[in-house]
Structure 1
């Protein structure tokens, strides 16, 4: 028996033993409200999912470990404990009084999980949660959250912009990043930006602006044409919002104004594509209009809830900017130049170049976190 097989078998036995000997008691209601989705990056295929835990016990419960297991074979696909678990955990509503992955009675917590498939294709998942009462050290387990993995990425999309370099800004571990922002506007909690990318233009030295950074028009990407990524029908347009004359003076916006000026495309395969924060007066299309891949839709700007000029781009299962579920996508082709390992360097210094031996030309991938890419001109 190989060492890898031995480790897997040992993990399976440990989980089976834990689940089989758990005491009968009140604990968590486990659910995975949205289908786990797999997508492809230069780091390989990964599954993204959210495990919801509602505490029905009469005491606060502390999460100690979460194992994602194969519902049929019991194989352990991923395990999270310690800092890896705490960094993926968030309470719904106000913060808890105690630090760590602790859920008080009647509260709901969410654990945002991302894990590699290691070249395999898991089909149906279960989740084994190891937990303890806040006042004690003994642990118990509960199993649940049955969910089937989706591998539907739809046809690859064309470039949303021309040239570059462009930084694909997103981060699964950002507490207020798109990946973790729920909107509950019509009786269901959804994450529209689950796979959203904010595109920011940089130069060869990593600068994002030329001149005063507080002036939106000084951003290197300001005014860049945004492009239809596929043949589609224009589903919605807004081009009525003004632009703040300064970045620092951008006011707060209501939820329905967060997207700023935008264009929504309804793709022929049923998906919806969103282009947000567009420049006032730049939108060239109307609802119902037929567009083709590569057509210019409008220009990158600074409208809505934005910390600086950029193109917010995401794909979802519905036409609402806030009331739909974010869906994975892949881009047909781009050149990978490198990535920002530390986003604090963005605008101040260059990126980390692509490792020697890693292919520059990428196909049918979702750009990895903070990748620096170039599109065809």
Structure 2
């Protein structure tokens, strides 16, 4: 791995990102699917069962929108699309959602590439508007809304469509949403935010992750800054992140490990001085200082990578921040150390890429890491290139860290 490398996009809106999912030397092994990621298939064109009918009038008053269009994200031997579908009922009558079908927008009369049935639908939904919804997230009254958290997983032989459309199934009817693209964001190639081996990318996108479901309204806008965020932790052979006293931050395998710049850039935030918390135990948890919008990330560093993309390092160890606002940094340069400050229950590095320097008032952006070794379960280490680590895996970033 080179000591320095400029930030560069893997793909743009006109580039087929899926072609980069399997770099030379990567094996065909795949990581387990994260919970809530639906296997996607090619949309096979079929003959319509009935002649096309005239559009209904008035059309179904179900609004569908995707605030941040997805970008094909290679990871763990697959290609993923991670995004949200915001739904809102603008009619006077209640609507009960029975399913969501994802369609290839460029194939007329094609079968769905993914089909979320009624039995699985509720796990994907979060209700937006509080009110009487008959005890289910799937029933939207007048003015009520929900967000469907979607993740599509394509295998190496399936071409990811360039454009998608959604069909929401209701009682005796179906509503169609607008066309969205799948190549929205230039995908930067980054170095690792940590160095060394045995790192677990916890809370990466899945329906188990509070990051993925973390829709927040800040300054009047609902956003998911943590959409692709990862909590970098280390676990011992016993499956625990600590050895010894669970209440001592120094007992944790990740504590004090170096955090490094993922690319060349300019530091725009460098905050130090927050104390470490006593880690959470079965007896409970209380942060060392009250959690506010200012203190939630604790000691932190934010690097402007250019192109409207910001690398965010949170929960750093007090006294470890080595950079200052306005300073230029190079890829691999040490910026701090893993700590337990802010809203952190145990020592880890919270890392995310976002559209602005605010930890919550921003949209989380996809990214890939240039190279790392990956291990699934008790399997052998494999070298992966230009991927994002999806699923339950262990990573080795090697020694890239420069003082």
TM-score, length of structure 1 as denominator length = 0.85
Q: Closer, same or farther in 2 for the Cα pair 1:73/1:26, shift >3 Å?
A: closer
1:227 to partner: Cα distance: 0.5
Of residues 78, 84, 95 in structure 2, which corresponds to 1:50? 84
Q: Which runs of 5+ in 2 are unaligned?
A: 1-40
- 1:131-182 Cα offsets, whole Å, 9 max, x none, are 12xxxxxx21111132112264433111111112111112544366111112
Preserved contact between residue 38 and residue 150 of structure 1 (Cα < 8 Å): yes
User: Matched residues in 1 for 2:94 and 2:268: separation?
Assistant: 46
Q: Does residue 1:374 correspond to 2:399, yes or no?
A: no
- 1:240-296 Cα offsets, whole Å, 9 max, x none, are 322223434333512332211110011144411011010111100000101111111
User: Matched residues in 2 for 1:304 and 1:40: separation?
Assistant: 31
Q: Does residue 1:293 correspond to 2:326, yes or no?
A: no
TM-score, length of structure 2 as denominator length = 0.80
Of residues 240, 255, 258 in structure 1, which corresponds to 2:296? 258
Cα RMSD of the aligned pairs, angstroms, is 2.5
Q: Closer, same or farther in 2 for the Cα pair 1:26/1:256, shift >3 Å?
A: farther
Preserved contact between residue 374 and residue 382 of structure 2 (Cα < 8 Å): yes
User: Matched residues in 1 for 2:361 and 2:347: separation?
Assistant: 24
Of residues 71, 78, 84 in structure 1, which corresponds to 2:114? 78
- SS of equivalent to 1:217: helix
Q: Closer, same or farther in 2 for the Cα pair 1:174/1:115, shift >3 Å?
A: closer
1:69 to partner: Cα distance: 1.4
Q: Which runs of 5+ in 1 are unaligned?
A: 133-138, 339-351
User: Matched residues in 2 for 1:259 and 1:83: separation?
Assistant: 37
Equivalences for residues 218-257 of structure 1 within 5 A: 218-247=251-280, 248-251=284-287, 253-257=291-295
Report how many aligned residue pairs link the two structures.
349
Preserved contact between residue 39 and residue 46 of structure 1 (Cα < 8 Å): yes
Q: Does residue 1:145 correspond to 2:164, yes or no?
A: no
- 1:26-77 Cα offsets, whole Å, 9 max, x none, are 4311111211222110131111121111011223321111111122323432
Q: Does residue 1:128 correspond to 2:128, yes or no?
A: no
Of residues 298, 303, 310 in structure 1, which corresponds to 2:348? 310
User: Matched residues in 2 for 1:259 and 1:174: separation?
Assistant: 22
Q: Does residue 1:35 correspond to 2:69, yes or no?
A: yes
Higher share in helix: 1
1:85 to partner: Cα distance: 1.9
Question: Which residue number in structure 2 is paired with residue 155 of structure 1?
Answer: 188
Q: Which has the higher contact order (CA 8 A, sep 6+)?
A: 2
